[in-house]
Amino acid sequence: DVKVTQSSRYLVKRTGEKVFLECVQDMDHENMFWYRQDPGLGLRLIYFSYDVKMKEKGDIPEGYSVSREKKERFSLILESASTNQTSMYLCASSLRLFGTSGNHEQFFGPGTRLTVL
């Protein structure tokens, strides 16, 4: 089974702090994704990566950056955390991109609930 793990289940940070959220997948997937989930807004894509050191912006990249130095690890960085970044953050991975042959199924981690005070 695909396993996607996230470094923390719960995190509390102060406004202005630099925050790192880590995600690791163990199935040699090419693609990794960061979403945030908010009541009434659903899940929204922040960034995704289709290869090591490659990244693409999603719908809401402002205030975030990402890093993918190794295939299995994808980090989400909040350069200066703000209260409006309080949310549930979900990481996902998939073997293949949409529009290519192969398995496109996205597998999600357990989520990190981040509170910024």
Partner 1 sequence: KQEVTQIPAALSVPEGENLVLNCSFTDSAIYNLQWFRQDPGKGLTSLLLIQSSQREQTSGRLNASLDKSSGRSTLYIAASQPGDSATYLCAVAGGAQKLVFGQGTRLTINP
Binding stretches for partner 1 (CB under 8 A): 4, 31, 33, 40, 42-43, 45, 48, 50, 56, 58-59, 90, 92, 97-99, 104-111, 113
Nearer to partner 1, 33 or 74 (CB): 33
Nearer to partner 1, 44 or 73 (CB): 44
Residue type, 87: S
Task: Tell how strand 73-78 and strand 19-25 pair up.
Answer: antiparallel
Nearer to partner 1, 17 or 59 (CB): 59
List beta partners, residue 116. 13
Q: How far is the CB of 108 from partner 1 (least distance, A)?
A: 4
C-alpha span between 106 and 16 (Å, rounded): 32
Q: How far is the CB of 54 from partner 1 (least distance, A)?
A: 12
Reading the block at residue 69, the tokens are 């130095």
Nearer to partner 1, 10 or 14 (CB): 10
C-alpha span between 32 and 89 (Å, rounded): 13
List beta partners, residue 4. 25
